[in-house]
Structure 1
Amino acid sequence: MIQRSAQAMFKLSDEQLQQLLHELQQRTGITVETPRWLLEEYLGERSAELGMSSVQGYLDSLKDDLGSRAEWLALVDLLTVKETRFFRQPAAFQQVRQEVCTRAQADTIGPEFSVWSVGCSTGEELYSLGMVVEHALRDSGCATNWHGIGTDVSFGAVARAKIGRYPERSINDIPLAYRSRYIRCEDKDQYWVCDRIFNRISFFHSNLMHVENAPFAKFDIVFCQNVLIYFDRITRLHVIDQLLTRTRAGGLLVLGAGEDIGWHTDQAERISQDGVTTYRKLGGFENG
């Protein structure tokens, strides 16, 4: 990290700030709410790492050509990797468990069951979903196969998610019933997601702003929590429409609290449950 005395060189003018935020929004759809001083600190550190003496020099390096693409990816990683943890929204995971158990008992689950973690960050959310689904299926005596997909705009986050290894402080958030079955300690302060979960999960880089172009089939559960708040209203509503399109008939679309404000549809009904914003897609159950 550069010294504070040097950081004084890296101040954004109003014009430079607007230029950067506009370019970032155009490329990712994300509206950055990082405080100006912190954004300047990030850019100062990044500029220093690249041997540049000014923020303007760094901004000029982001011109739209092949050589700038890697740096845009690095900048997106710097600004968009958000705090995440296992079982971050307990009520939402409990609803997923209830859904799997109910459908297994009613024999409406079919031979395959799929989940999508949208904005998966470093993987904790999808691995949590995997544990819940695996646990519920096996406890219900259901032989259904399942698989999970996680997507994120950050290449760095996706790369870390693919490893499936976490420090002890991270796995402490996992309920004991899941931790004892699905987490293994391989060496000091390094814990691994067990193969029963790990081998059924895949992670991909994907820009949510272009979700309609993602080459994915439909899912029984689309789980998108605390992601859409970073998009402007028009983009947010468009993304929710696209997420519902990727949800199977009878499946669940699970959103973060308040992320559906202003969204209306006649293709799904909202499920009433405290602490969770969930829609069930209409049309019966579509198994496949």
Structure 2
Amino acid sequence: MIEITDDEFWRLAGYIKENYGIHLKAEKQSLVTGRLHNVLLEKGFNNFTDYFRYLKNDTSGKAMATLIEKITTNHTFFMREADHFHFFRDQVLPYLRKTVRDKDLRIWSAACSSGEEAYTLAMILDEFFGKEKAFWDSKVLATDISDKVLNIARKGIYPHEGIASLPANWRMNYFNNYDTDHYILTDKIRKEVIYRKFNLMEPVFPFKRKFNTIFCRNVMIYFDQRTKNELVDKFYANMEYGGYLFIGHSESLNRDLTRFKYIMPAVYRKE
């Protein structure tokens, strides 16, 4: 095992935080060593100093992409934290149907991982609007920093056990058999999600219009408080009044600092 020194760890951790906001604490040192060991071997490096030099000098972006994929955990599943989706269906969508006059919904899955969250939203939207759907622009924007998970998401192929807990009518209407072990989402649903690579640490978000709903769940657990506050401020600036922000149940906003109004656990609103 190629061990990382304290100095090497803090240099690497500082670089990651500066570029991606991910705050690696001292106790993550062994995790970083373990997850990057094979990368160093494959590249022929004997120490993390040489690897860090390679990382900073690589202009292709591949080295950083590999690093991010190694140190982040992309764990998600359909209907994760289901109460959020029920609230979105029962409270948010009826409100938006009444108030969005141009029928252009702006919904963002801001850390979409392998796509289950974004596709869940697309299925809810399709079921909610029914025949009205043709009159609405309700495509979901789904972003992530990992090319690997974005490629998985675009394909829309999931194992049988991954969709077993979904309602029977969803499995029937929105999925087709792919092979003996997998289902694939119908084109109808896959075309309702737009996948893009995006870094939430961008100083200015490039969106032309503001969002009605933002899902950014189980991401801010990787950030320190200052980074969280700055990100939440950018969400607020890029959201329509009356819009909703969903975060993970293990996360919370500082109510003394945020301009969002607390609605229920892990759900906030811009008022």
- Of 107, 110, 113, 2:98 maps to 107
Shift in Å at residue 187 of structure 1? Answer: 2.1
The whole-number CA distance in structure 2 between the counterparts of 1:17 and 1:235 is 20
Assess if the C-alpha contact under 8 Å between 2:232 and 2:258 holds in 1: no
CA gap 1:190/1:206 in 2 versus in 1, 3 angstroms: same
**AA paired with 1:28?**
Y
1:176 matched to which residue of 2?
168
- Of 176, 180, 185, 1:188 maps to 180
The whole-number CA distance in structure 2 between the counterparts of 1:28 and 1:141 is 36
CA gap 1:242/1:12 in 2 versus in 1, 3 angstroms: same
Assess if the C-alpha contact under 8 Å between 1:100 and 1:133 holds in 2: no
The whole-number CA distance in structure 1 between the counterparts of 2:85 and 2:256 is 23
Shift in Å at residue 229 of structure 1? Answer: 1.4
- Of 37, 42, 52, 1:49 maps to 42
- Give the alignment's TM-score, normalised by structure 2: 0.89
CA gap 1:238/1:18 in 2 versus in 1, 3 angstroms: same
Shift in Å at residue 91 of structure 1? Answer: 0.7
**AA paired with 1:47?**
L
The whole-number CA distance in structure 2 between the counterparts of 1:211 and 1:137 is 35
Assess if the C-alpha contact under 8 Å between 1:165 and 1:191 holds in 2: yes
CA gap 1:239/1:263 in 2 versus in 1, 3 angstroms: farther
* Alignment RMSD (CA, Å): 2.3
2:17 matched to which residue of 1?
25
Shift in Å at residue 119 of structure 1? Answer: 0.8
The whole-number CA distance in structure 2 between the counterparts of 1:216 and 1:74 is 30
Assess if the C-alpha contact under 8 Å between 1:130 and 1:197 holds in 2: yes
Which stretch shifts more, 127-136 or 58-67? 58-67
Aligned to 1:208, what secondary structure does the other structure show? coil
Assess if the C-alpha contact under 8 Å between 2:123 and 2:189 holds in 1: yes
The whole-number CA distance in structure 2 between the counterparts of 1:127 and 1:32 is 30
**AA paired with 1:17?**
F
Shift in Å at residue 279 of structure 1? Answer: 2.1
Residue 120 (str. 1) matches residue 120 (str. 2): no
The whole-number CA distance in structure 1 between the counterparts of 2:256 and 2:4 is 36
CA offsets 1:98-156 (integer angstroms, 9 cap, x no match): 1355237x733432223100111111111111111211222888943311011111121
List alignment gaps of at least 5 residues for structure 2: none
CA gap 1:65/1:55 in 2 versus in 1, 3 angstroms: closer
Aligned to 1:35, what secondary structure does the other structure show? helix
CA offsets 1:229-251 (integer angstroms, 9 cap, x no match): 11111111111111122222222
The whole-number CA distance in structure 2 between the counterparts of 1:213 and 1:122 is 22
List alignment gaps of at least 5 residues for structure 1: 1-6, 283-288
Shift in Å at residue 32 of structure 1? Answer: 3.0
2:56 matched to which residue of 1?
63
Shift in Å at residue 56 of structure 1? Answer: 3.2
CA gap 1:213/1:149 in 2 versus in 1, 3 angstroms: same
- Counterparts of residues 111-150 of structure 1 (less than 5 Å): 111-138=103-130, 143-150=135-142
Shift in Å at residue 261 of structure 1? Answer: 2.7
Residue 208 (str. 1) matches residue 197 (str. 2): no
CA gap 1:213/1:168 in 2 versus in 1, 3 angstroms: same
The whole-number CA distance in structure 1 between the counterparts of 2:47 and 2:129 is 56
**AA paired with 2:51?**
Y
CA gap 1:173/1:52 in 2 versus in 1, 3 angstroms: farther
CA gap 1:90/1:243 in 2 versus in 1, 3 angstroms: same
Aligned to 2:166, what secondary structure does the other structure show? coil
**AA paired with 1:56?**
T
Assess if the C-alpha contact under 8 Å between 2:176 and 2:186 holds in 1: yes
CA gap 1:86/1:16 in 2 versus in 1, 3 angstroms: same
Assess if the C-alpha contact under 8 Å between 2:4 and 2:47 holds in 1: no
The whole-number CA distance in structure 2 between the counterparts of 1:73 and 1:270 is 35
Assess if the C-alpha contact under 8 Å between 2:159 and 2:181 holds in 1: yes
- Of 245, 250, 257, 1:264 maps to 257
- Give the alignment's TM-score, normalised by structure 1: 0.84
